Amino acid sequence: MSVTDFERKIYRIVSQIPRGYVSTYKLVARKAGCGSCRAVGQALKRNPYAPRVPCHRVIASDLDIGGFCGSLRGRQIQRKVKLLRREGVLFEKGKLTDPSRVYDLMG
């Protein structure tokens, strides 16, 4: 599978999110100089760099849990929540409990 420049950029950015923090599609898109957060989701879905790129640390700018492993709901999402909770990032009813856990990619 070939990785496009865009994807490479996205993965690099997502990889810099520290443990215990999350970021949003919007922030990642902006950091990548991309006007579409949706494109980020597409890149993450196709993410071939399994845990090397922590795609579970990327949520919607709404602070909604977003998606994981190709689906927006279901068992996979529960796994995402569980993973994040293990890192100290808590969710409740599909929403991030503590907004201060959002990593400032620009900082």
Partner DNA sequence: ACATGTTCCTTAC
Partner DNA sequence: GTAAGGAACATGT
* Among residues 11, 47, 89, 102, the one that binds DNA under rule CB under 7 A: 47
11 binds DNA (CB under 7 A): no
Query: Is 5 or 92 the residue whose CB approaches DNA more closely?
Result: 5
Task: Tell me if 10 sits within 8 A of 28, measured CB to CB.
Answer: yes
Task: Tell me if 68 sits within 8 A of 76, measured CB to CB.
Answer: yes
Residue 69 is a catalytic residue: no
67 binds DNA (CB under 7 A): yes
103 binds DNA (CB under 7 A): no
Query: Is 35 or 99 the residue whose CB approaches DNA more closely?
Result: 35
Pairing of β 95-96 and β 91-92: antiparallel
Query: Would you put residue 21 in left (φ > 0), alpha (ψ -120 to 50) or beta?
Result: beta
- How far is 67 from 76, CA to CA, in rounded Å? 8
* Active-site annotation, residues: 55
Q: Which positions lie near DNA, rule CB under 7 A? A: 1, 4-7, 24-26, 34-47, 55-56, 58, 60-62, 64, 66-72
